[in-house]
Amino acid sequence: MRRKAPWKFAVAMTLVAVVGAACGSNNAGTGAQGDSQQSSEQQPSEPDYQQTYSQVRESYHHMFETADGLAGAIAKQKNLGEVSSPAIDTRATLGRQLGEHAVLAAFAMQKGLDGAPDFEAAAEALNGNTEDLTATITSVYGEEAGNAFNKQWSDHIRMFVDFTVGTASGDQAKREGALRELGQYKQSFGRFLSEGTGLDKAAGLKADDVAALLQSHVDQLTKALDTYKAKDYTATYAQIREAYAHMFMTGDGLSAAIAKQKNLGDTTAGAADTRLTLDRLLGEHAWLAVFAMQKGATGSADFEAIGAALSQNTDDLTKVIGSVYGAEAADAFNKQWSDHIRMFVDFTVGTASDDDAKREAALNELGQYKESFGKFLSEGTGLDKDAGLKADAVSGLLQSHVDQLTKALDSYLGYQA
């Protein structure tokens, strides 16, 4: 008999009702099993949090690849211009990496506050993001600047950890000490990123402007933790979404300055904004979905709030589709996208409650969904004829998305395919 993972599971019908309300989804029948979907037959295993966060990061990065392909097809169909250039790619890279930092930091702080067993793995994922950011800075300014960046950036993460420890333990002196250090950090890092790189003289990026952006980042993450501790979860996820979007804005400003300094071109040319909007929103979908599945499986009190945030992301994506293809296409997108979220919830409920039939049914539905949504996004929009975006290509990207999220949950709960 299979052993359940060591968690307190939520009641299945309660989870379904909550997410149904949050996402506004409809019931759907089961369909044919996807070609490469996971089997629901599982073997006993301990949770593998390293694997969990590897999948979390992979699922996030995969949605940027998906967004880039979709943006390129839309740009070709609508004659919007290029979606890729040295300047645009720099903007996209910094947005992706800085956005990931905000998300991983926010959830690592939650895990630290809760004393969760996956805190160390979440922190290591955050360190992996720091290494990626360091590589980007090094590629532009060299190894010495990369090392300086890494030291300061890593130290500010340590300050957030100190803030979390002080908050969790009720140690007001430790909290205030961490905030003072973060105040000093924003000034020193502002000078490094402005004067140390020459961006102040070459592109007009002033240290005070960088410091102000960092203060917003500090405010957003600390408020997200404080509201989480206070159980004001709606405010928590509003702050985390704001922190994520803010880091894209920060990436926009930094990439524009670098592009000016290095003569890379215009970061806003052509279809750059279309690409970055889809990047940000599809990336946000991935991290909201994967952490919502964790919260649902463990019966966390903030599950409803993160489900509502995921629904808000769906609304934002729907507006983008509507702005390009009109209200009818937007409605069709919203229905299918919301329903695939419901399928992930069913998978989560089945996994957490040891219900093989429910797991299997959810995977079957997701296999059917990838085909129908692939046809909608390709043939229903005309992107197949106008830009060569085939339904099979879309369904393949969706299968990867399904695999990543389901594997992330299985490793988190201690199930192994």
- At 140-186, the pLDDT tens digits run 999 999 999 999 999 999 999 999 999 999 999 999 999 999 999 99
* Average pLDDT rounded to a whole number, residues 283-300: 97
Distance CA 376, CA 389 (A): 11
Residues 46 and 186 in one domain: no
Distance CA 340, CA 373 (A): 10
Structure tokens at 229: 């501790």
Residues 370 and 355 in one domain: yes
pLDDT at 14: 31
| Cα separations in angstroms, 280 against 60, 400, 406 | 10, 19, 22
* Average pLDDT rounded to a whole number, residues 263-274: 98
pLDDT tens-digit profile of 89-140? 999 999 999 999 999 999 999 999 999 999 999 999 999 999 999 999 999 9
Q: Is residue 23 pLDDT above 80, yes or no?
A: no
Q: Is residue 6 pLDDT above 80, yes or no?
A: no
Domain count, the chain: 2
To which residue do tokens 């996971």 refer? 38
Residue 224 amino acid letter = A
pLDDT at 416: 66
Last residue of a domain, one of 269, 287, 315: 269
| Alpha helices (H) in 115-198, listed in sequence order | 119-141, 143-169, 172-191
Distance CA 22, CA 311 (A): 6
* Average pLDDT rounded to a whole number, residues 53-77: 98
Strand partners of residue 43? 416
| Cα separations in angstroms, 277 against 44, 64, 312, 360 | 41, 10, 15, 34
Q: Is residue 18 pLDDT above 80, yes or no?
A: no
Residues 152 and 238 in one domain: yes
Whole domain around residue 254: which residue ranges?
84-269
Residues 172 and 244 in one domain: yes
Residues 372 and 415 in one domain: yes
346-350's contacts with Cβ under 8 Å and 24+ in sequence apart are 346/16, 347/293, 347/406, 347/409, 348/15, 348/293, 348/296, 348/297, 348/409, 349/10, 349/12, 349/15, 349/16, 349/296, 350/12, 350/40
pLDDT at 21: 37
Distance CA 72, CA 80 (A): 9
Distance CA 189, CA 192 (A): 5
Residues 183 and 280 in one domain: no
pLDDT at 91: 98
pLDDT at 403: 97
pLDDT at 45: 73
Check: CB of residue 313 under 8 Å from CB of residue 285: yes
pLDDT at 7: 33
Q: For residue 32, what is the DSSP state?
A: P
Q: Is residue 11 pLDDT above 60, yes or no?
A: no
Residues 68 and 157 in one domain: no
Check: CB of residue 194 under 8 Å from CB of residue 200: yes
| Cα separations in angstroms, 312 against 22, 285, 289 | 9, 10, 12
Confidence of residue 415 (pLDDT cuts 50, 70, 90): confident
Confidence of residue 19 (pLDDT cuts 50, 70, 90): very low
Mean of the per-residue pLDDT values of the chain: 91
pLDDT at 132: 98
Last residue of a domain, one of 269, 304, 319: 269
Residues 111 and 252 in one domain: yes
Residues 156 and 67 in one domain: no
Last residue of a domain, one of 215, 238, 269: 269
Q: Is residue 308 pLDDT above 50, yes or no?
A: yes
Q: Is residue 333 pLDDT above 70, yes or no?
A: yes
Residues 256 and 352 in one domain: no
Distance CA 220, CA 243 (A): 6
pLDDT tens-digit profile of 212-232? 999 999 999 999 999 999 999
| Cα-to-chain-centroid distance, residue 234 | 18
* Average pLDDT rounded to a whole number, residues 382-411: 97
Distance CA 16, CA 234 (A): 19
Structure tokens at 47: 């949770």
Residues 264 and 280 in one domain: no
Residues 290 and 383 in one domain: yes
Pairing of strands 43-44, 415-416: antiparallel
